[in-house]
Amino acid sequence: MTLRIFIADDEGPARERIRELLQDIAAEMPTEIVGEARHGLEAIELVPKSRAQVLLLDIEMPGMRGLEVARHLAGLENGPAVVFITAHDKHAVEAFELNALDYLLKPVRATRLAAALKKASSAGAPAEERLAGAQSEAREYLSVTERHRIVLVPVRDIVFLRAEQKYVTLRTRNRTHLIEEPLITLESEFAKRFIRIHRNCLVAREAIRGFERAAPSADEPHWLVVLEGIEERLPVSRRQWPLLRELVADQK
Amino acid sequence: MPSIRQNDSSDLLPDFRNLAVIARVLVAVNAIALAGAIYAVPNVRGAIERFIEDAAFLEPLLFIEITVLFILSRQLGRLSYAAGCVASVAIVAVLAAGYEAGVASLSKTTAMTFRGALFAAVLAAVLLGYFRLFVKAYSPALAEARLQALQSRIRPHFLFNSLNVVLALIRRDPKRAERTLEDLADLFRSLMGDARDFVRLSDEITLLERYAEIEQLRLGERLRITWELDAAPSDALLPPLILQPLLENAVYHGVEPSTEVGDVLVRIERRGDRVLARIENATIEAGAERPGNRMAMENIRERLALFFDAEARMDVRVQHGRYRVEIEIPYLTQARRAA
C-alpha cells in the first residue's frame, strides 16, 4: 500500500533531498507525496485537506515552528502521523526522546527514513499531551478545528478566556470561539500574558483599562474589569481582587 | 604576518600611541601622587590640598612626557626591548630634570633636578614593568578567546544544514555541489585557523561571499544581500572572523525566522584613519525572534578589545525596524605596521 506523505520544510534543497530519498526507498516503502509546505502556517493550511498519512515536519520553520504546527494538527480527525526533522537542536531532541516522539536528524539517511515511515504508518497521529510535553515555550496561536480546516487565533489577539461548562469561550475584539482546553492548563501556559480575575476567567493583562464598581443593587459590592475594545464588563472575584488592585497600582 | 602573539608582544614596549596605554599612565601617576600626598599630610583635607598642589606641578610634565613618547614611539619601537626601555626611562628622566630646572628658574626656588629626574625614572621603570605584566596576564585570555571563538563560531545548525544542501545538489548539479563543498572547506579552514593573526580585509570579504553563497542556496529568494564594498580598503588588516559571524547573525535572526524576503546590508568603507563596517537586517516581529544572540556579540566585542584595546568601537542599534551592528577599527595595513 502506498503511503501518503506531506513534506514541510522551509528550505528548497531540504525538500528536494527528502523527495530523492523517498524515491530511493520506493521499492521497500512505496510512497506518494501529497503536498509540501514552505513554512508552518502553510502546513496548517494545506495538511488537513491533503489526507496525508505521514507528515515529515522540520522543526525550525518560519511562520510557526514545527512543534506548534503538530499540536494544532493533533485536533484533526484522522490526522497524519508526524516525524519531526531537525538539523541540530539538542533541547528539541531531548524533548522528543522524553515524550516518545519520532524524529530524524538532518542530513537524513535513507534507511532511517524508511524505518521511521514504517513505524509512523502504524502509529497514527501523536497525542496532543505528548506534543505539549515536548514544547517548552507557549504557543503563539490557539486553534479551533473544524472538519477539514484549522482556524488559528493569535494568542496576542485574545482579550479573555472564560470557562463555560464543557468549553472555554475565547474572545477576541471581534469574534468568539469555543475551544476544548481546560482553563487551568491555559493559565499556566500563558501566565505571562493572562491574569485570572475569577474562578472561571482569564483576562489579557494588556487589555485591562480599569475597574468599575458594580451596580449597588448587587448583593455584595464587587468590582468589574473594563476592557479595551470590548463593551462587556467582567466580574472580579473577591479572592482575586487584592492581586489585581496591586497589579493596577504597579502600572501607575 | 603581524600578530598579537604573547611571545612577541610581552617583549614589546607598550604602544605609546594607544589611548588605553595613555589613560593607564595618567591614572597610575596621579594615583601615586595622591598616595604620596595622603602619606605626607595626616588629615584628609590637607592631603587633598597637597595633591591638588602637586598635580598642578605634575600634570604639565606628564603631558610633555606623553607627547614626546607619542612622537618618538615608532623610533623607540624599532629598538630592542631592553634598549627601548632604557631609552624611554632616559627620555622621561631628562625631561623631568629639564622641567624641574625650568620651573625652579621661573619661581626663583632651588632646583632639585637630580631628585626629580630620579623620581621620574623610577616611576617610568615601574610602569614599564606593569605593562609587561599586564600583557603577560592577558595572554591566557588570548588563548581562551581563541577557543571560545572557535566553539561559538561553528553553529552546528549551519554545518548540518549546509551538508544537507550539498547532498541535495549532488545528483542534480554535481558541479555546484563541488563548489559548495569547496566554499565550506574555506570557511572551516578559517574558522579553525589561528584566531590571533590579523587578516586582510579582502580575504575576509571573500569569506563573507563564500558564506553568503551557501546561505543563498539554502534560503533561495528569501535571502537578499546588498553589498556596498566599493569604498572598502582591501589592504586593511583586521582580526579574523569579525565580520562573518555578524553576517551569520543577520541571516540567523533576521532572515531565517521570517516568511518574507529578508534584506541584509553589508557595507564596509574607509573613513580617514578608520575602517567602518556595518551589517544590517530587518528585525523580525515580536514572538518569532530566536534566542542566543548575545554570546556571539560579546565574543566579537571581546576579541576587538584584545586586538585594539580601546581603539575599536562596536555599536548595536535597533531602529526603524532595522537591527544594525557597526564596527569601527583603526585603519591598519601591513605597510603602515612595518613603518
Q: What is the pLDDT of residue B73?
A: 86
Question: A17 vs B167: CB contact, 8 Å cut-off?
Answer: yes
Are B161 and A41 inside 8 Å of each other by CB? no
Residue B164 banded pLDDT, cuts 50, 70, 90: very high
Taking residues B51-76, what's their average pLDDT? Answer: 88
A78 burial (CB, 10 Å; 0-12 / 13-18 / 19+) is exposed
Burial class (CB in 10 A: 0-12, 13-18, 19+), A210: exposed
Average pLDDT rounded to a whole number, residues B203-211: 94
Looking at the complex, report in whole angstroms how far the Cα of residue B153 sits from the nearest Cα belonging to chain A: 15
**SS3 of A12, please?**
helix
Report the gap between the CA of B244 and the closest CA in chain A (Å).
Answer: 21
Other CB atoms within 10 A of residue B28 CB: 15
Contact A11 B160 (CB under 8 A): no
Q: Please state, as a whole number, how many other Cβ atoms lie within 10 Å of the Cβ of residue A117.
A: 23
Interchain CB distance below 8 Å, B167 and A107:
yes
pLDDT for B1 = 44
What chain B residue is nearest to A107 in terms of C-alpha separation?
B164
Determine what percent of chain B is predicted with pLDDT higher than 90.
33
Task: Provide the pLDDT for residue B217.
Answer: 93
Give the tens place of pLDDT for each residue, A156-189.
999 999 998 889 999 999 999 999 889 999 999 9
- Asked if A224 contacts A212 with a C-beta cutoff of 8 angstroms, the reply is yes
Q: Does A210 touch chain B (CB under 8 A)?
A: no
Q: In chain A, what residues touch B259 (CB-CB under 8 Å)?
A: 38-39, 41, 62-63
Closest of A54, A64, A62, A65 to residue A18, by C-alpha = A54
Q: Which of A115-119, B65-69, B91-95 has the highest mean pLDDT?
A: A115-119
Whether the pLDDT of residue B304 is over 60: the answer is: yes
Q: Give the percent of chain B with pLDDT over 70.
A: 87
CA distances from B41 to B48, B56, B153 (A): 9, 17, 56
Task: Evaluate whether A62 touches B284 at the Cβ level (below 8 Å).
Answer: no
CA distance linking residue B330 with residue B274, whole number of Å: 4
A222-226, B183-187, B298-302 — which is least confidently predicted? B298-302
The per-residue pLDDT for range B106-116, each reduced to its tens digit, is 887 777 788 88
Q: Give the three-state DSSP class for A194.
A: strand
Our CA-based measurement puts residue B260 at a distance from the nearest CA of chain A, in whole angstroms, of 9
Interface mutation vs chain B, best among A18, A24, A106, A206, most B CBs within 10 Å: A106
State the pLDDT at residue B300: 85
Indicate if the pLDDT at residue A49 is higher than 70.
Answer: yes
3-class SS letters over B118-168 = HHHHHHHHHHHHHHHHHHHHHHHHHHHHHHHHHHHHCCHHHHHHHHHHHHH
Residue B200 has pLDDT above 60, yes or no: yes
Mutating which of B167, B180, B214, B256 best tests the A interface, going by the most A Cβ atoms within 10 A?
Answer: B167
pLDDT tens per residue, range A188-239: 999 999 999 999 999 999 999 888 887 766 566 688 899 988 888 898 888 8
Nearest to B164 among A38, A60, A107 (CB): A107
Give me the mean pLDDT over the B245-253 stretch: 91
**All 3 cell numbers of residue B154?**
561553528
Name the more confident of B278 and B302. Answer: B278
Contact yes or no for B167 and A63 at CB 8 A: no
- State the pLDDT at residue B309: 78
Please answer yes or no on whether A14 and B172 come within 8 Å at the CB atom.
no
Contact B130, B28 (CB under 8 A): yes
> Where does the pLDDT of residue B312 fall: very low under 50, low under 70, confident under 90, or very high at 90 and above?
very high
